[in-house]
């Protein structure tokens, strides 16, 4: 356990909670996993309703899972803020998923919807980093999150395409 002094008081770092990491966990995982799912469903199905229903079900179950996992992981470190960490992760996950599903509810044209989804993902990453980081840190964190998200989304898309090819769906 790490301790530091702040204005003469001893702060136990294990019990200090910064919601940034919990929000990043939920937001980043939602962007990566849902973008992969949306891309796969986009190329597999022509019915937008299937995409929406599948994404809503996946979003809710994954948000609950991520929330529980972060709660348990934070609790394992004897952090008193485990419940709050789990809540922040789940809420960030759901909010991110809602923003990514929204274009399919607004636009009738699937191509416009999927392009909008990718633009919204970039905007979410940009705005989060704009609020949390300043100066050089902003650009470094924004670029890092965007690159990681892009690489994993491309891999998820490739897996979807391979499954589409292998199973002939």
Alpha helices by DSSP H, the chain: 19-44, 48-76, 82-106, 110-132, 136-167
pLDDT band at 4 (very low <50, low <70, confident <90, very high): very low
| Inter-CA distances, 162 with 16, 110, 111, 117, 168, Å | 44, 21, 21, 22, 10
Residue 5 reports pLDDT greater than 70? no
Helix (H, G, I), strand (E, B) or coil at 10: strand
pLDDT for 45: 78
* CA distance linking residue 83 with residue 80, whole number of Å: 8
Q: What is the pLDDT of residues 13-33, one digit of tens each?
A: 455 778 888 998 999 899 988
The yes-or-no verdict on residue 91 having pLDDT over 90 is: yes
From 51-55, 97-101, 142-146, 149-153, the region with the lowest mean pLDDT: 149-153
Q: What does the block give as tokens for 94?
A: 């759901």
pLDDT at 15: 58
Whole-model pTM: value is 0.81
**Do the beta carbons of residue 135 and residue 117 sit within 8 Å?**
no
pLDDT confidence tier of residue 169, bands split at 50, 70 and 90: low
Longest CA–CA separation in the chain, Å? 67
User: How large is the average pLDDT for residues 124-153?
Assistant: 88
> CB–CB of 56/101 below 8 Å?
yes
Mean predicted lDDT score pLDDT of the chain = 86
Query: What is the average per-residue pLDDT within 78-104?
Result: 95
Average pLDDT in the 51-67 region? 96
Higher pLDDT, 139 or 43: 139
Residue 80, C-beta contacts closer than 8 angstroms, at least 6 positions apart: 15, 17
* Number of neighbouring beta carbons within 10 Å of residue 16: 13
């Amino acid at each position: 356990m790490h301790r530091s002094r702040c204005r003469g008081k001893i702060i136990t770092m294990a019990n200090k909670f910064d919601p940034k990491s919990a929000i990043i966990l939920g937001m980043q995982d939602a962007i990566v996993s849902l973008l992969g799912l949306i891309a796969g469903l986009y190329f597999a199905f022509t019915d937008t309703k299937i995409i929406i229903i599948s994404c809503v079900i996946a979003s809710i179950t994954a948000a609950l899972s991520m929330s529980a996992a972060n709660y348990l992981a934070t609790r394992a470190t004897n952090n008193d803020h485990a419940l709050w960490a789990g809540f922040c992760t789940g809420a960030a996950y759901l909010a991110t998923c809602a923003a990514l599903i929204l274009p399919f509810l607004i636009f009738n044209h699937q191509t416009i919807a999927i392009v909008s989804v990718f633009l919204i993902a970039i905007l979410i990453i940009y705005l989060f980093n704009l609020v949390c980081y300043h100066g050089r840190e902003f650009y470094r964190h924004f670029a890092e999150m965007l690159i990681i998200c892009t690489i994993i989304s491309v891999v998820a898309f490739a897996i979807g395409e391979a499954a589409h090819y292998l199973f002939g769906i």
